[in-house]
Homo-oligomer: A and B are copies of this chain.
Amino acid sequence: MSIRALLNIEHPIIQAPMAGACTPALVAAVSNGGGLGSLGAAPMKPDVLRAQIQKIRALTGRPFNINLFAPGSERFDADAMPGKAARALLEKYHQELGLGELRMPSGIFGPAEQQLEVLLEEKVPVISFHFGVAAHHVNAIHAAGLKVICSATTIEEAVHLESLGCDAVIAQGSEAGGHRGTFMGDFQRALIGTMALVPQIVDAVSVPVIAAGGIMDARGIVACKALGASGVQMGTAFLGCHESGIPGVWREQLKASSPSRTTVTTVMSGKPARGLANRYIQDMEALEEAPMPYPLQYALSGAIRKKAAQQGNPDFLAMWSGQGVGMLQELPAAELLKALVTQTRLLLAELDN
């Protein structure tokens, strides 16, 4: 089955869920244009999530996607925690930025089980997961008549996801910005480039494969089609859109960056993710001790990110970015989508001549 038929969309283009960057306006613009808009909901409290879904529904009647991090991934053992050096550094930053005491947030992130309940109640057409998914959640989503897709960063993960009953698999190449979806084995070994990952996953599973990582324009879309992908998921490309909700300083840094500015680091959230290198990453990585576990590292560094965004200071932001960053365009999402569709058609015709 094609990804278009599966997800009931006109164009096989998924705007990647990016927590903190996707607004309901961006999601709706992509869905209204015939693609699949997505909301990254991992850090949202259940009531905030429900309100966001209602905002999206007010703007579009088309299918859209909500992304969660795998239920359970937000749990951590507060007593057995490393990261003392990371906490000391965060305290130093708090002083530098004139922020108050560093506080342990209560009930941080999700919980994902409750987020999923909201999605089922709201009958969100497409639910996607990062960091894997449990079989009983796949079953619950199907029982509600909804579709479930999940990211794979290796062939082994893709085969596992198909065995759980996922409707499609997102092949997340190493070029991709944001969190690595790796849930089996070492994340370093799972940094597999899109060019190699997509055809090997296509060969290994029967469900449709959605290519992600480094795709910024029609060239990438046609390339992934050639590799056997049924559709593409594009993140960084949509960060530049007018509707993207990123701070101005993040946008400016993206516009000035080449791919060698991006790095995969665990110090931003506690889990590996690709973003633009800055002072925070350099300082944190220089510590001999590991950062705090996800999501504690992320939650405790939230105040400095907020302050840095207000100040237009790139030093402390989590500026997620894929390696396609040098191809960023700034335009309304509807126009980007239209251009992608038109140029894909032209390029396909041109290549065959």
Which residues from chain A sit less than 8 Å from chain B, CB to CB?
Answer: 154-156, 173-175, 185, 188-197, 199-200, 203, 213-217, 219-220, 222-228, 258-263, 277, 322-324, 326-327, 347-349, 351-352
The reply to whether B348 and A203 form a contact with Cβ atoms under 8 Å apart is: no
Known: A200-B258, A226-B226. Is A193-B174 also a contact (CB below 8 A)?
A: yes
Neighbour of A259 across the interface among B196, B213, B220, B327, CB < 8 A: B196
Min CB distance A178 to B, Å, is 14
Identical copies in the complex: 2
A203 proximity list for chain B (CB < 8 A)? 326-327
Beyond contacts A154-B260, A195-B224, A199-B216: 11 other A-B pairs, Cβ-Cβ < 8 A, are: A156-B258, A189-B263, A195-B214, A195-B223, A195-B324, A197-B214, A199-B327, A200-B258, A223-B223, A348-B351, A351-B351
Contact B222 A193 (CB under 8 A): no
15 A-B residue pairings within 8 Å (CB atoms):
A189-B277, A192-B323, A194-B196, A195-B215, A196-B214, A197-B323, A199-B217, A199-B220, A199-B327, A200-B324, A222-B351, A223-B227, A351-B351, A351-B352, A352-B352
Give the nearest-CB partner of A188 in chain B: B263
Q: Which of B195, B347, B348, B351 contacts A173 (CB 8 A)?
A: B195
Bound: A302/B175 CA distance, A: 34
A136 to B236 alpha-carbon distance, docked (Å): 40
A349 to B353, CA, bound (A): 9
A260 contact from B155, B214, B263, Cβ within 8 A: B155
A324 contact set on B, CB distance < 8 A:
195-196, 199-200
Give Cα A191 to B351, complex, Å: 28
Q: Of A174, A213, A222, A277, which is in contact with the most chain B CB atoms at under 10 Å from its CB?
A: A174
